[in-house]
Amino acid sequence: MSAAEILVPGKAGEGEALVLTAPISFWGGVDPKTGRIADVRHPQNGEVISGRVLFLPGTIGSSSASAVLMELVHNGRAPAALVLHEPDAILLLGLIVAREMGWETPMAVRLGRGLFETYRGSAVKVDGDGVVTVA
């Protein structure tokens, strides 16, 4: 169990952990229609982020990342929760705008990268207080 800092409040989430081993660009790196990692150079290419607790060691910046995340929310293909090592204001803006549109959004929290491996291969829950646990 780890207490995480809530970056963007949202719906508590539960799902299989997807611990990325490399930073990702959402723009061109994630298909907003399927929730699948589409970047052929990414180590987790082909993995689906939808409905999973997504552990992000970092992002590769694009101002369009927020739009892709917002599309994922709108299409019902968003992760169950996002766990970031460092806040990414542009990416998180997608959750904020989606919430302002009245869409149910996943919670985003900040957790030390050293704890990510603790959750690999597990079912994980991020509760409304930002506590990350193995479900």
Q: Is 50 a catalytic residue?
A: no
DSSP of 103-119: ---BEEEE--GGGGGGG
CA distance 133 to 1: 4
Give 55's contacts (C-beta < 8 A, 6+ positions apart). 17, 18, 19, 20, 83, 111, 116, 119
Give 38's contacts (C-beta < 8 A, 6+ positions apart). 28, 29, 30, 31, 45
Which one is catalytic: 62, 63, 64, 122?
62
Any idea which residues carry the catalytic annotation?
62
